[in-house]
Amino acid sequence: MYRALVMFPKSASAAKVEALVAGIQESFTATAGFLAMSRSVGALMGPGARDGDVGWILEADFDSLEDVMAVLHADSFQQWKAATEATGTTIFLFEVASG
């Protein structure tokens, strides 16, 4: 399984992040191999959140690397990708092992 982790900066407005999450979710859920998506709700907690630059976190899981790459390169996703990157997000993509 592959996971996309998107960390939105505190400097982004809550309304902007909400709109981006909605658009991302629409694109992801329409994609073969999409498994699940979750996002942080409310303020982040812990030492990293107190002094960090991240305000919101989104995670999305896909069956395979091919599935996640297909959605990331789809024409229908490009506006959301560009808008998300323009907010100064930090984005990771990695394989996840169970157990």
The tens digit of pLDDT for each residue in 14-71 reads: 999 999 999 999 999 988 899 999 999 988 888 878 778 899 999 999 999 999 999 9
**Domains in the chain and their CATH numbers?**
2-95 (3.30.70.100)
Which region, left, alpha or beta, applies to residue 46 given φ > 0 means left and ψ of -120 to 50 means alpha? left
Query: In 10 A of CB 81, how many CB atoms?
Result: 18
Q: Tell me, what's the pLDDT at 30?
A: 87
Burial class (CB in 10 A: 0-12, 13-18, 19+), 28: buried
- If pLDDT is split at 50, 70 and 90, which confidence band does 85 have? very high
Element (H, E) at 56: strand 54-62
